[in-house]
Chain A
Amino acid sequence: GAVVSQHPSRVICKSGTSVKIECRSLDFQATTMFWYRQFPKQSLMLMATSNEGSKATYEQGVEKDKFLINHASLTLSTLTVTSAHPEDSSFYICSARAIQPGLASYNEQFFGPGTRLTVL
């Protein structure tokens, strides 16, 4: 149990286009999902916290208008990179926190497999 999927796993796009990444919790409900970015040989940096039915909370230095987050249901959050540029090329990882007490570790975050974005 506690599987998180991301789609697509890899995307290559031209500069200026927008890219949408989906994060789904497949077998549990998640009121909270997190979006991270990881540059090569660096650690995961939290970009934003996404709560179902409300606006996302962005970390300092992350542009809200550039990285649009929508958390429309308890199993789906999307990250849209608008007008992508080469410097946005990175590995984007989502995680979901389970809400059911008793599901393994109640507060544990379950990570998706990541999406590698390359902007040419």
Chain B
Amino acid sequence: EDKVVQSPLSLVVHEGDTVTLNCSYEVTNFRSLLWYKQEKKAPTFLFMLTSSGIEKKSGRLSSILDKKELFSILNITATQTGDSAVYLCAVEGTIQGAQKLVFGQGTRLTINP
């Protein structure tokens, strides 16, 4: 069964801390792994990863993929209260002939001032 598992499910830290969010997956015919940030509405795109070992960075956020271990991490440094959100990991695979996104449960991140 195709699945994406995120950990932790919930995380509360103080402003300025660094956090690491984890995503492991088992998805048929892997195409890409995506990270999204979801506040109150639909997810907003953060990163798409297709190759192992190549770190993608955007400001204080960075992410890397390990296709051998079927694992990705999302790092956020110097966290701010505006980083509070649910972070979703999704893996796109070709499943039964169709390209589909399989989402993890999400990590609810709370940054306290």
Q: Spell out A's residues near B (CB within 8 Å).
A: 32, 34, 41-46, 49, 57, 93, 95, 97, 105, 107-114
Q: Determine whether the beta carbon of A107 is less than 8 Å from that of B41.
A: no
Q: Spell out B's residues near A (CB within 8 Å).
A: 31-32, 34, 36, 41-45, 48, 88, 90, 92, 98-106, 108
**Shortest beta-carbon distance, B43 to chain A, in Å?**
5
| Secondary structure type dominating chain B contacts | strand
Instruction: Give the number of residue pairs across the A-B interface with Cβ within 8 Å.
Output: 47
Q: Determine whether the beta carbon of A111 is less than 8 Å from that of B42.
A: yes
Do A43 and B88 form a contact, CB below 8 Å, given A34-B101, A107-B31, A107-B32? yes
Which of B44, B92, B104, B108 is close to A107, meaning CB atoms less than 8 Å apart? B92
Do A113 and B43 form a contact, CB below 8 Å, given A43-B106, A44-B103? no
Do A93 and B98 form a contact, CB below 8 Å, given A44-B103, A45-B103? no
**Shortest beta-carbon distance, A99 to chain B, in Å?**
13
Sample of 7 more A-B contacts, CB < 8 Å, known A44-B90, A44-B103: A34-B101, A43-B105, A43-B106, A93-B43, A107-B32, A111-B44, A113-B41
